[in-house]
Amino acid sequence: MSNIISAQNVIFEYLGHENNKTLAINDVSVDIKKGEFVAILGHNGSGKSTLAKHFNALLIPSRGTIYVKGLDTKLEENTWNVRQTAGMVFQNPDNQIVATVVEEDVAFGPENLGIEPSEIRKRVDKSLEAVGMTEYAHDAPHYLSGGQKQRISIAGIIAMRPECIILDEPTAMLDPSGRKEVMETIKMLNKEEGITIILITHYMDEAVQADRVYVMEQGSILMQGTPKQVFVEIDKLKEAGLDVPQVTELSSRLREAGINISPDILTVDEMVVELCRLK
């Protein structure tokens, strides 16, 4: 499977007060394959959102290179194609909604791409259907819940037909119900539509649903692997200021109590199966 995004020895420095440079990304190399669901974890200030903004050329590396579908993001002539390949959904949906009617908001991106009106109509209908928001097509976005607004933001990106969607903490401002809605949408787009997903999050229960996880600390990659490979390293994650999935924590405590249980349990269903095995 080919890489849709490849970051090679990326360094990024912010220019701060009195032209002092702050190192935000420190020699990061990441390969993301087409069709993958990748989660990037880290506490505030770890560099995860800064890295995400490099993936669609909102930021350009100070040193190193990022390729999006083979296109070097440093080259200005590639910016348009890079952003068509990799769409971005931000934390606050209100910052991404620009129209007063849902279907007009979803149509905004394709209109700016110069797509024919008949094709835009098809894309809007399909995108709203994909996120389960068809019945709200003629509603005003400001009447919707946080989860519904975020799904509208995602629909607006889908309508531009990206091969990859980067979501920068899309559930951070949502209640549990809204978080669940958005995560179900993300998983559906990945599994059914084949869209590559890059999810920036600090919620462990979201990261366990990914194919692969990267953990960042102080601008560098601290850990990487499948969720089972990463979350079994409980002490290392806690040293980095991160929690672990509650079920994984429970598994660890049961093992400390002398119960022979697998250390890499991530979900409630897996825990139920494991406990039934002990009978």
User: pTM of the entire structure?
Assistant: 0.88
Q: How far is CA 276 from the centre of its chain?
A: 34
Give residue-wise pLDDT tens across range 188-241. 889 988 999 999 998 888 899 999 999 999 999 999 999 999 998 888 888 888
Q: What is the pLDDT of residue 249?
A: 85
d(CA 45, CA 60): 18
Distances in whole angstroms, Cα of residue 175 to Cα of each of 61, 70, 268:
35, 38, 21
Give the Cβ contact number of residue 78 at 10 Å: 18
Counting as low any pLDDT under 70, the low residues of the chain are: 1, 279
Q: Which domains does the chain have, with CATH numbers?
A: 35-60+73-226 (3.40.50.300)
Question: What are the phi and psi torsion angles at 171 (to 5°)?
Answer: -110, 5
Pairing of strands 86-89, 3-15: unpaired
The neighbouring-strand residues paired with 86 are 164
Q: What is the pLDDT of residue 29?
A: 95
Q: What is the pLDDT of residue 118?
A: 94
Q: What is the pLDDT of residue 1?
A: 65
d(CA 170, CA 183): 9
Three-state SS for 198?
strand
Q: What is the DSSP letter of 217?
A: E
Q: What is the pLDDT of residue 279?
A: 67
Residue with tokens 């129209």: 99
